[in-house]
Every structure is written in structure tokens, then in C-alpha cells.
Amino acid sequence: MPAPSLVILTGAGISAESGLATFRDAGGLWSRVRIEDVATPEAFARDPARVHGFYNARREQLADPAVQPNAAHRALAELDARWPGDFLLVTQNVDDLHDRAGSKRLLHMHGELRKARCTRCAAVTPWAGDLSTTTSCPACGGAGGMRPHVVWFGEIPLEMDRIAAALDECDIFAAIGTSGLVHPAAGFVAEVAHRARTVELNVDRTDGTRLFDEARHGKATDTVPRFVADLLAAT
Ligand code: APR
């Protein structure tokens, strides 16, 4: 009997205990700035310096030595390494904490904060520092066309074909630390619910909790290691 196929979706809640703000909790990012001002193509066309400032500040925070992968990130990296069946970790997060925890079978559907993309040649370049309206592209040399390699509202998330293929095959689907409010990620559970075991891990109930077979409430650093141990014990 082959091991079940696993798809795990994570959101900002898995990085909260590493010190990174979520979006919609009290004091979250969207309570401080408006999506329309910093996270849409129109915002970038209207005021690119403001958009760069928002992402530069988040990139700078990610470089803070105090911001490290937490026990939930590490547990998912262990699951990736030890799971004998098909496995895909789809994160909505643009931080690199899953990568730094060691996750390999990982996909950033909303892009990555520590990468920049040239709007002229489309080259994607690792980028740890600030971007500005005069930054030159290391690939084509063009100046002033660099943007964060982050998917904005109104844009198509990355690698949706690969995600669809994984969802088509998955036997177990878990959503961790996401409010389940932003599509297409919010729709994944409904896509698989008729044939996969679905589990929600979150500190609170969400609007989507009713769509899951099981809900495990608590902080990710408590619930995720226990969930991973349960999955590995069952293989
Ligand atoms: N442990 C587990 N869950 C937590 C924790 C924690 N320590 N802290 C917060 N949460 C939960 C909250 O209850 C909430 O349901 O994490 C979720 C965070 O929700 P959002 O802030 O909406 O973040 P997310 O779901 O990732 O947002 C999705 O929206 O703004 C866009 O592109 C952005 O990728 C983001 C997408």
C-alpha cells in the first residue's frame, strides 16, 4: 500500500511565533497599510517608491537575526524529509522561513520577499537588500524596472498547474495558519474535500473551519509538531 499523498498549505500564522506579523490579526499588516496602496500593480504604477518602501521594511525585518524558523517550520521540514509518499508544501508566505528550516518539496505561490524581478527581461534575482526606482537589473542591466518578486492582488499566483496536479492526487490536505479568505488558496480544501482527509490547524476557528474534517486549535508551534508526529506514526 503506497503512502498517502500529502499537500500542506501554510499562511502567515505559521510565521507569527517567529515574530513576523500576520495580515488580518489585530495589529496585522493590513491594519497599518492599505492593500490598495502597497500590494497591487496599480499601486506600483502610481507610487513605486512607496511600494518599494513597504517591501524593503519587510525584507529588512526578515534579515533580523531574531527572526528564525520556529518549531512548526522545523516539523514540516522533518515531515518533508521523512514522508515516503508524494508531498508538497504550498506556502502563501513570502518569507523564507520554510526554506531556512530545510523544506525541499516547497512552493511559494505568492512569490518570495528575498527575490526581485525585472519588469523588462523578467529575470528573477535573489535579493536581500533594498529595491528602489533606480535599481538596475543584474541580468539585462536595465535600470528602474525592478519589482519585488511577490504576487500582488489581481495577479495570478505562481505554479498553479503544479498545485492543481498535487491537489488532484492528494489523500491528506492540511491548512496551517491561514484565515482562508484569499483565493485561490482558500478554495483548495473544497477542491479535495470529497476524497481527501482535510485538517485545519489554526489558533482560532476560521470562516473555513466548517469545510474541514478535523480542526486542531492552538499555536502552530504546539499543534504542528504533534500533527507531524501523528502522520509519521501512521506510516
Ligand atoms: N498559530 C496558528 N495560527 C495562527 C497563529 C499561530 N501562532 N497566529 C495567527 N494564526 C492564524 C490566524 O488565526 C489567522 O487565521 O493565522 C491566520 C493568519 O491569517 P492572515 O493574516 O489572513 O494570513 P494569510 O491567511 O496567510 O493571508 C493570505 O492574503 O494578504 C494576502 O498575500 C497575502 O498570503 C497572504 C494572503
Q: Which residues pair with 10 in a beta bridge?
A: 91, 176
pLDDT for 95:
98
Non-local CB neighbours of 230 within 8 Å, separated by 6+ positions: none
pTM of the predicted model as reported, rounded to 2 decimal places: 0.98
Alpha helix stretches (DSSP H) within the chain: 13-16, 35-38, 41-46, 48-62, 71-82, 97-101, 160-169, 188-192, 220-233
- Cβ(194)–Cβ(42) under 8 Å? no
Atom of ligand 1 nearest to the CA of 92: 34
Please write the tens of the pLDDT for every residue from 90-112: 999 999 999 999 999 999 999 99
5 lines ligand 1 (CB under 6 A): no
Q: Give the distance (Å) from ligand 1 centre to CA of residue 138.
A: 34
- Cβ(110)–Cβ(154) under 8 Å? no
Catalytic residue annotation: 110
Please write the tens of the pLDDT for every residue from 135-185: 999 999 999 999 999 999 999 999 999 999 999 999 999 999 999 999 999
Among 202, 212, 217, residue to substitute to test ligand 1 (most atoms within 8 Å of Cβ): 202
The chain-wide mean pLDDT, for the chain, equals 97
pLDDT at 1 over 90: no
pLDDT for 210:
97
pLDDT at 89 over 90: yes
- Cβ(176)–Cβ(224) under 8 Å? yes
The gap between the terminal CA atoms of the chain, to the nearest Å, is 10
